[in-house]
Structure 1
């Protein structure tokens, strides 16, 4: 009798464990955390039975360099689309013309449902002139297009971070400052340079040089030591150097652009007679 009770107990325990195992398999798979939860959602819109969510570290689409992240959600399966083939085209609709702006290709981060790239907006929108962003993406052989109007604003601090100008070689350039968190120190400093081939194409310009001369106009226009001019870095397609800031306050970073043979295309030296260059960035901290 004792043996029968032991066998019966073992049978009940086995059935219980099997039942628990079945219940575990039926549980829904936990939804992963949003990999962009620490970013700001700038906009979201619906198209093609999908929802597109665009994020940034910034609070808004802004004139200058914008690093953007986005996800595409399938509303039927309630899941995010991974590894899609994605391209994009920002377009400025002006009263008499349309044009695009410098932009990168689109890639994914470690989470393959997150797509990223940068856009350099040259100008802000207004009531009559506005930017649209078009995404083209291919999922399982099916290509979709989604277009949304976006609000591009001037930088909240009013400082100049992008220059659009005609060089002495009759080429129109876009020179954009990369984001920086300035400190009283010698800071890593970088910028990106593009030329306008036409209204839709803005390729990266390589192997030029950007001279920098930071000054404090409110403090006798003094400069700072240990600055390094910006040299082209082939691994990032970015011009990189060092910016020395010796105190907090408003700085004008005077610039001078040289081509690969040393010809000055834009910008002037700072002298007692000439206190600023026609080409410059601004920052204040």
Structure 2
């Protein structure tokens, strides 16, 4: 069992985490063991005589949802900073523009030297276009900034877990599938929905509905019983439903996005003439 656990339960994301230490001072603390030793360090960079370490359960920064953890080390004392005030901003540098992506506020975990949040990267980097992560942190009233280029890649399995699209309401949306361990069963299934307010702001969208229609294209495009569409959960801030997978293999989760007025903003029904929606996720297990 991993040492660090945050209160994401049943794939529920919220801004409620384990409380931090009773020590509210921004003092460096010396920890003999790394509380993130079971995670993968994705990058480490130095600035302001500090080292910033970013960790994840994943092996890389990935297009789609990324749950990230990080620590800030005082290089002079070789100790980690506890209870700092931290924020971040991921920015994609394209050849003709810059934009950010949906991301959470940064919160402390049950270990006061470990901070956490999530990002939803919409696209991978390449030789000419790349992501940068800027982390701003305040220690004892002094504010610092650290910026580093990061390598965001397509998922290792090549499957689609995020959709970026223009709805029929002329609003650009980002719909991201939450991580899951699929089984031959009726699985908990969840997603997050954001809209692009401007190039740097992606607020969450509430009270819509995500219709799901899972199909196996390689098996006659058959579906499955007992699926439940995704409805917005006010306590978690995510869309939750049920996904029925009746056998192992490749599944395309066809989607339709419906707004509060019952209008379909994106996605189509599956029929004999139309075997796939333009809005979908992919799973293979």
1:32 Cα deviation from its structure 2 partner: 3.1
1:233 Cα deviation from its structure 2 partner: 0.8
Is 1:76 matched with 2:96? no
Partner of 1:224: 224
Is 1:205 matched with 2:198? no
Corresponding residue SS for 2:101: coil
Corresponding residue SS for 2:260: coil
1:252-271 equivalence runs, <5 A: 252-271=252-271
User: TM-score of the superposition, structure 2-length normalised?
Assistant: 0.89
Partner of 2:48: 48
| CA RMSD, Structure 1 to Structure 2 (Å) | 1.0
The runs of 5 or more residues in structure 1 that have no matched partner are 1-28
Q: Deviations over 1:90-115 (max 9, x none)?
A: 00000000000000000011001100
Q: Deviations over 1:167-220 (max 9, x none)?
A: 000000000000011000000000000000000000000000000000000000
The runs of 5 or more residues in structure 2 that have no matched partner are 1-28
Aligned residues between the structures: 257
Partner of 2:32: 32
Partner of 1:278: 278
CA contact (8 A) 2:30 2:80 kept: no
Alpha-carbon spacing, 1:170–1:31, altered in 2? closer, same or farther (3 Å): closer
Is 1:65 matched with 2:62? no
Q: Deviations over 1:120-173 (max 9, x none)?
A: 000000000000000000000000000000000001111100000000000000
Partner of 2:179: 179
Alpha-carbon spacing, 1:125–1:30, altered in 2? closer, same or farther (3 Å): closer
Higher radius of gyration, 1 or 2: 1
Q: Give the whole-Å Cα distance in 2 for the aligned partners of 1:31 and 1:198.
A: 41
Partner of 2:245: 245
Q: Give the whole-Å Cα distance in 2 for the aligned partners of 1:166 and 1:30.
A: 49
1:31 Cα deviation from its structure 2 partner: 3.9
Partner of 2:139: 139
1:30 Cα deviation from its structure 2 partner: 8.2
Q: Give the whole-Å Cα distance in 2 for the aligned partners of 1:262 and 1:72.
A: 47
1:261 Cα deviation from its structure 2 partner: 1.4
CA contact (8 A) 2:30 2:79 kept: no
User: TM-score of the superposition, structure 1-length normalised?
Assistant: 0.89
Q: Give the whole-Å Cα distance in 1 for the aligned partners of 2:38 and 2:45.
A: 20
Q: Give the whole-Å Cα distance in 1 for the aligned partners of 2:282 and 2:110.
A: 34
Corresponding residue SS for 2:275: coil
Partner of 2:112: 112
Q: Which has the higher contact order (CA 8 A, sep 6+)?
A: 2
Name the one with the larger helix percent.
1
1:78 Cα deviation from its structure 2 partner: 1.3
Partner of 2:190: 190
